[in-house]
A = this chain, B = another copy of it.
Amino acid sequence: MSVKIALLGFGTVASGVPFLLKESSEKIQQAAKSEIEIVKVLVRDEDEKKALLAKGHHHAFVTDIDDIINDSEIAIVVELMGRIEPAKTFITRALESGKHVVTANKDLLAVYGSELFEIANKNNVALYYEAAVAGGIPILRTLANSFTSDKITRILGVLNGTSNFMMTKMVEEGWSYEAALAKAQELGYAESDPTNDVDGVDAAYKAVILSQFAFGMTIDFEDVIHKGIRDITPADVSLAQDLGYVIKLVASIEETSSGLAAEVSPTFLPKDHPLAVVTGVMNAVFVESIGVGESMFYGPGAGQKPTAASVVADIIRITRRLHDKTVGKSFNEYSRPAQLAKAEDIKSAYYFSIQTPDQPDQILRLMEIFEAEKIFLKQVLQRQSGKDAVRVVIVTRTLNKTQLKNVTEQLEAVNDFKVNNILRVLGE
């Protein structure tokens, strides 16, 4: 007996699905206890269908979603179109007609996840999405199945391959942001509008999903502070290196005494931190917990085969559960009331880069501002920066978001001071 599936979309990732179903067929059949058969593939229009057939793809391509929804033989619908619509409508209709759904659509899940989970639960069908976070890294299933015994205190993630590729070029080769972006676009890693990648939007979507699995809390996308890598200069990168750090776009989700704090921002990582060696388009999720302590899950965050591997693992899981007659339980069962952290409980060290006129009293005034907020400093470094100006770089000890807000306002209130950058520093 075979389990029949339909694919929605036949782009890069989707075409990796038949590849793996064929290459790993023996292993898959052992795990799934059934054969898995792609019986229909939804494409945009007749032109795409013709083009794919001409390329030698021998699937039953259809252009009307009803051909899939009304086909009672199809048990699993695999959505790989991306974006919000029509994916949301198609997934909703599939779930409502009793079909299980596998998707890699993080944008959709981060914003409309709760709504879709409810529809899945009501119809007693599965909605799995391992590929939505960190592509080929099986992090969601690991959090759901293996960290059941543990209490996670913080998650740190390098979750966006494009920005990590760019930061790697900026750190290892001294490239500017603009040069790194141009290269990422040339290689097809970044789109012509790179906003989602470079401004931390994509990583923030993933942080929303990780929060559910790691902390049982569903937070809104708007609750994830996000700041991208656009303002990182070669000077910041080189100062970071002098101080013993590398800069990466890091998502952090932390449970404080008052609740959850989630943030995506360029972050100073100590050079010997396991995340510091995650280079190029690779992703990693670093987990801090009371049981295991420190663990890290590393792998490709995107790409045809890695993403398809996660998608097919979800398909196998559902097929196996159909065989065991246990299908329908949520992908993530950990759930607690969501609570956001108070500003004074969100703590970190910070790097400040400030331009001042080259006069000794300027430094004194700067120090007084930090002193007034009771912020202790770990490293201070002053360098000539152009004519009659100096750049003062400060790495603080731990401070909280209220102190950060106050000191930033104070610094910006002084006309002579130009705040170049303020970035999080881990490990202080």
Residues of A within 8 A of B (CB): 16, 20, 23-24, 26-28, 30-32, 130, 136-138, 141-142, 145-151, 216, 272, 274, 277, 289-300, 303, 305-306, 308-313, 315-317, 324, 326, 333-336
Q: Tell me if A136 and B309 are in contact (CB < 8 A).
A: no
Q: How far is the CA of A265 from the CA of B236 in the complex (A)?
A: 42
Given contacts A138-B142, A142-B138, A316-B149, contact A309 B333 (CB under 8 A): no
**Closest B residue to A295 using CB positions:** B299
**Closest B residue to A289 using CB positions:** B309
- Minimal beta-carbon separation of A104 from chain B (angstroms): 13
Q: Tell me if A24 and B294 are in contact (CB < 8 A).
A: no
Q: Tell me if A292 and B277 are in contact (CB < 8 A).
A: no
Given contacts A148-B313, A290-B305, A313-B148, contact A136 B295 (CB under 8 A): yes
Ordered nearest first, which 6 A-B pairs have the shortest CB separation?
A: A291-B309, A295-B299, A138-B146, A149-B312, A31-B148, A136-B292
Q: Tell me if A334 and B31 are in contact (CB < 8 A).
A: yes
| A-B contact list, 30 entries, CB within 8 Å | A20-B290, A23-B151, A24-B290, A24-B291, A27-B148, A30-B216, A138-B147, A142-B142, A146-B310, A147-B309, A148-B313, A148-B317, A149-B308, A149-B309, A149-B310, A149-B311, A149-B312, A149-B316, A274-B277, A277-B277, A291-B305, A291-B312, A292-B300, A294-B299, A294-B300, A295-B297, A295-B298, A295-B300, A298-B298, A324-B326
- Minimal beta-carbon separation of A28 from chain B (angstroms): 6
Q: How far is the CA of A137 from the CA of B296 in the complex (A)?
A: 9
Q: Tell me if B146 and A313 are in contact (CB < 8 A).
A: yes
Q: Which residues of B contact A334 (CB under 8 A)?
A: 27, 30-31
- Minimal beta-carbon separation of A257 from chain B (angstroms): 16
**Closest B residue to A273 using CB positions:** B277
Given contacts A300-B294, A324-B326, contact A141 B145 (CB under 8 A): yes
Q: Tell me if A216 and B27 are in contact (CB < 8 A).
A: yes
Q: Tell me if A20 and B305 are in contact (CB < 8 A).
A: no
Q: Which residues of B contact A299 (CB under 8 A)?
A: 292-296
19 A-B pairs besides A16-B291, A141-B146, A289-B309 with CB distance below 8 A are: A20-B291, A23-B291, A24-B150, A26-B336, A27-B151, A30-B334, A31-B148, A136-B295, A138-B147, A141-B142, A142-B146, A148-B312, A149-B310, A292-B300, A293-B305, A295-B297, A295-B298, A295-B300, A297-B297
Q: Which residues of B contact A292 (CB under 8 A)?
A: 136-137, 299-300, 305-306, 309-310
Contact of A300 among B26, B138, B293 (CB under 8 A): B293
- Minimal beta-carbon separation of A180 from chain B (angstroms): 20
Q: Tell me if B30 and A333 are in contact (CB < 8 A).
A: yes
Q: How far is the CA of A316 from the CA of B145 in the complex (A)?
A: 9
Q: Tell me if B149 and A313 are in contact (CB < 8 A).
A: yes
Q: How far is the CA of A145 from the CA of B331 in the complex (A)?
A: 13
- Minimal beta-carbon separation of A208 from chain B (angstroms): 20
Contact of A293 among B30, B136, B142, B293 (CB under 8 A): B136
**Closest B residue to A299 using CB positions:** B295
**Closest B residue to A216 using CB positions:** B27
**Closest B residue to A336 using CB positions:** B26
Q: Which residues of B contact A324 (CB under 8 A)?
A: 326
Q: Tell me if A306 and B291 are in contact (CB < 8 A).
A: yes
